[in-house]
Every structure is written in C-alpha cells, then in structure tokens.
C-alpha cells in the first residue's frame, strides 16, 4: 500500500530544497523529488539513505537515484546511485522527512474525536464512551469495546473485535482481527537524536498494517513505521504484553507468547514460534519455521528451521547440553 492516509505530504519538493536544508551547494540539474523512502521501496524519483554496509545488497537493486550517506561509504555506493554526503545521516533524514511531512510530529492528540454516528455505522456494535476521528471506516459485524479511541483515517475490516480501553491510530486492519483490551497500536516509534540541551524527535510517517485473522493480546504496544510500515502477517497470534517496535515485519502463522520484545526493523519469517520474554535485537532477519525458546536473546540472524534458546541464543541442543 503506497498511499498513506495519515500524513499530509508536501508535493512540491525539489532537489534544490533538500540540498538547501542540508547546507549543500545546488546542482545544475534541479528536479522534483517525489518522496523520502527506504532503499527497498524507493522509486527513481525518491530520495533514500544508506548508513550501514549490511544494506549494500539492497542498495544495489534500489531504484533510488539520490541517496544520503556519509563520506566513509561514498566509494562503496557511488556506482549504484548519486550520493549526497553529509556529516550526520540520520539527522539529515530527519530534516528531509520533516520537509516532506511537516505535520508528522503533531499527532499526539486527535481533537476531531466524536461519538460514533449510529446511523452511519448501523451494522457495528459499540460499547460505551467510544470515540472516533474523521474518516474512520469499520467493516460490517465488527464490535468496538468500551472506552476505545479510534483516531482519524483508521480502517478496520469486517467481523473484527476491538477490546475495551484500546487506542488505534495510523493503522489499517484486515478482516476477522481480534485486538484485546488495553492495546496501543500506531503510536510513533522510539526514535530521536540525543542532545545535551534538547533531544530531537524523529518523524515516523509509516503505518501499522494488520492482516486478516490476526489476534493481538491485552496491553500490546505496536509502533508505526518510520519510513516503511510495521506489518503483522495473516493468522499470526500474539499473547499479552508484547512490544513491537517501528518497521518490524512479522510473517504469517506466527505464535508469539507473553512479554516478547522486538527491536526496530527486524524481519520475522512465517510459522515462527517465540517463547515468553524473548528479545529480538534490531535489524535482524529471522527465517521461516524458526523456534525461539522462552527468555532467549537473539542478537544475530537465524536461518530457516532454526531452534534456539539462551543468551546469546544458540542451537537448542547445545543449550540443553550445557545446562543439564
């Protein structure tokens, strides 16, 4: 889904505008830039960024023509794109994101909330004290629990159950999804630039996409994506008190038990089982059919069909042998 309904984009951004806020000299060829995007999703008219050699293979196939990067990577990437060299890549991405999406940091409270119009939602069952923002769409035969807030432009499919005291924002939900009580879904991720006097918050312009037949337990927190989206795959079931950070992509038919934590930008395959209180570090790839034991700390990529446990997580047979 390319069209983001939650943030207003400035449609008239040119390369000269970007170079100006970065303190760079103008180039002869000024052209219109469509958007800022990650390397994988960028089109030829988007600008992107490169800040780690682990993404070199993605850069090689990326369509992005202009890429923000630092001097130490210039020689590695200049054959694949036109690098714009800066001292601080992430701060530059923050400035460009705010240029494209000037309201992206102003979504703390949706003041358009009102009680649902029963005539408009005549096939929906609402609890008491429910509030909806503008342009909310809810499919037929869905149930919305007491004291729940659904902010502007959120979309919910048919046959869904949204529990009590739940907050939904910047989220698109499929059919037959169940979200239990007390969950907060679609808030900004934990992204900022530390500074002695004032920390600078990073704009998060992604969404949360929840596919069909997902169950999300009580008191889950699921952050929206920064540039890309946070995705929960079809038929995945998530237990209580799980935290899913920005840009995490969880595959289909996964089972995730209580108090698991996912750091940002991790990619989880299909049919993955994760035991309680396990932690997944950021920017990792977990393959299909992986089993991760409870209390494990995963700090490196795991191939398909792995079974691991412990900290750092290792092959489960080795772990059990060492801990007889």
What does the alpha-carbon distance between residue 82 and residue 69 come to, in Å, rounded to a whole number?
10
| Tokens, residue 181 | 């009580």
For residue 74, CA distances in Å to 29, 50, 246 come to 21, 10, 28
Tokens 């700390």 -> residue:
297
State yes or no: cis peptide before 312, omega within 30 of 0: yes
| Tokens, residue 43 | 């089109």
Alpha helices per DSSP H over 101-220: none
From 3, 2, 7, 41, select the one nearest 170 (Cα to Cα). 7
Please say if 146 is a catalytic residue. Answer: no
Residue tagged active-site, from 146, 204, 243, 246: 246
CA angle 38, 269, 307 (to 5 degrees): 135
Q: Looking at the annotation, which residues are catalytic?
A: 246
């Amino acid at each position: 889904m390319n069209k983001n309904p939650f943030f207003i984009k400035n449609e008239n951004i040119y390369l000269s505008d970007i170079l100006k806020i970065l303190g760079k000299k103008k180039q002869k060829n000024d052209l219109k830039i469509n958007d800022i995007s990650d390397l994988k999703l960028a089109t030829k008219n988007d600008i992107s960024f490169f800040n780690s050699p682990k993404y070199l293979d993605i850069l090689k196939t990326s369509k992005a023509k202009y890429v923000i990067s630092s001097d130490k990577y210039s020689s590695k990437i200049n054959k694949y794109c036109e690098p714009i060299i800066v001292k601080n890549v992430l701060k530059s991405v923050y400035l460009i994101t705010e240029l494209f999406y000037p309201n992206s940091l102003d979504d703390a409270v949706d003041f358009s909330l009102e009680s649902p119009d029963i005539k408009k939602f005549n096939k929906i069952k609402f609890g008491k004290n429910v509030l909806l923002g503008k342009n909310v769409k809810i499919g037929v035969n869905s149930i919305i629990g007491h004291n729940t807030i659904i902010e502007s432009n959120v979309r919910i499919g048919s046959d869904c159950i949204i529990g009590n005291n739940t907050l939904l924002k910047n989220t698109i939900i499929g059919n037959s999804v169940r979200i239990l009580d007390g969950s907060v879904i679609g808030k900004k991720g934990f992204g900022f630039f530390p500074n002695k006097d004032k920390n600078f918050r990073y704009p998060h312009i992604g969404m949360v996409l929840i596919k069909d037949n997902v169950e999300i337990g009580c008191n889950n927190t699921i952050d929206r994506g920064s540039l890309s989206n946070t995705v929960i795959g079809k038929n995945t079931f998530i237990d209580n008190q799980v935290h899913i950070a920005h840009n995490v992509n969880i595959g289909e038919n996964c089972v995730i038990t209580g108090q698991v934590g996912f750091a940002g930008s991790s990619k989880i395959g299909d049919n993955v089982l994760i035991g309680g209180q396990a932690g997944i570090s950021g920017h990792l790839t977990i393959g299909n059919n992986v089993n991760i034991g409870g209390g494990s700390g995963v700090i490196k990529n795991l191939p398909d069909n792995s079974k691991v446990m412990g900290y750092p997580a290792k092959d489960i047979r080795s772990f059990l042998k060492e801990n007889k």
